[in-house]
Structure formats: structure tokens, C-alpha cells
């Protein structure tokens, strides 16, 4: 719910923090954006990395070689979640000719299942904002 005295960018950051299960540490570090060559962008938050890149089916094929992908309905055109054993929930979302990727770190004592709903909620919030 928007607050009258809070700028939209701050409100969006709050929603992102809430969606991914952020905490007070989340607010201590500003996001860091970096271009991915001339074709995409990456934004790094504490515990979450977002990328917008061109969609290539080979990216999904490569992810499938690392382990099973869970199909996630009602997110973008198609979406897949990967339980990365290195301690990450990775969500790949196809949106037209683009792909949104979200990598959420999973801290000790938690599992991908614990952060799954937040990662999906964040993707659902971001998909309509993609050009």
C-alpha cells in the first residue's frame, strides 16, 4: 500500500525487501547496478541478484544440465525455478524476447522452499515493469 510521504522508488524498494524476506541488513547496502555488455543489466542487492538479458533457450537448456527445473505457472510467459546446491534459489522468467533472472541466497538453516514464495512474488512484481 503506497504511503503519501514516501517516494515511489523507496516504496518499490520496500516491496522488494518484503517480497524477498529482507531484514535490517538489507537497508545497510545500496543496490549496485552493472551493465552486462550492451545487451543487459544486473542489479545486486544484499541476498538477491536480478538480471535482465535477452532470452535464449540455450540458457534454460544449460540450467537443465545442472539439475531439475521446476516449472512455475503464472509468472511471465514461462518461468522455471532451480534449487542451486550452492545455496541459491534461481528463478528464470521468459518475458517476450527478454529473460529476468533472480538469484536469492539461502542462508544456513533455510531451504529454497523457505524463500520460494518471496522470489516468485518479486518476479511477479517486476515482470510488468520490463520494457
Q: Looking at the 3D structure of the chain, how many domains does it have? A: 1
51 band by pLDDT with thresholds 50, 70 and 90? confident
112-126 and 8-20 helices cross at what angle (nearest 10)? 150
- Residue 20's domain is classified under what CATH number? 3.40.1000
Amino acid 108: pLDDT: 85
| 3: in domain | no
C-alpha cell at 84: 542451486
pLDDT at 10 over 50: no
Rounded to the nearest 5 degrees, what angle is found at the Cα of 24, between the Cα atoms of 84 and 50? 40
- Tell me the pLDDT tens digit for each residue of 80-127: 999 999 999 999 999 999 899 999 988 888 899 999 998 998 899 888
Amino acid 15: pLDDT: 45
| 1: in domain | no
- In this prediction, what percent of the chain has a pLDDT beyond 70? 69
pTM value is 0.75
| 76: in domain | yes
| 2: in domain | no
| 26: in domain | yes
List CB contacts of 104: < 8 A, sequence separation 6 or more.
20, 47, 48, 88, 89, 90, 91, 115, 118, 119
6 band by pLDDT with thresholds 50, 70 and 90? very low
Domain with 113, as residue range(s), is 8-129
Amino acid at each position: 500500500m503506497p504511503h503519501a510521504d514516501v517516494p515511489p522508488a523507496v516504496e518499490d524498494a520496500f516491496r522488494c525487501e518484503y517480497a524477498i524476506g529482507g531484514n535490517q541488513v538489507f537497508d545497510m547496502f545500496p543496490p549496485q547496478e552493472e551493465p552486462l555488455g550492451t545487451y543487459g543489466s544486473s542489479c545486486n542487492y544484499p541476498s538477491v541478484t536480478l538480471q535482465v538479458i535477452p532470452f535464449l533457450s540455450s540458457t534454460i537448456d544449460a540450467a537443465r544440465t545442472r539439475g531439475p527445473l521446476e516449472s512455475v505457472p503464472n509468472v511471465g510467459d514461462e518461468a522455471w525455478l532451480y534449487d542451486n546446491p550452492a545455496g541459491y534459489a534461481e528463478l528464470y522468467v521468459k518475458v517476450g524476447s527478454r529473460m529476468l533472472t533472480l538469484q536469492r541466497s539461502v542462508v544456513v538453516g533455510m531451504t529454497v522452499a523457505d524463500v520460494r514464495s518471496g522470489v516468485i512474488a518479486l518476479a511477479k512484481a517486476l515482470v510488468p515493469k520490463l520494457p
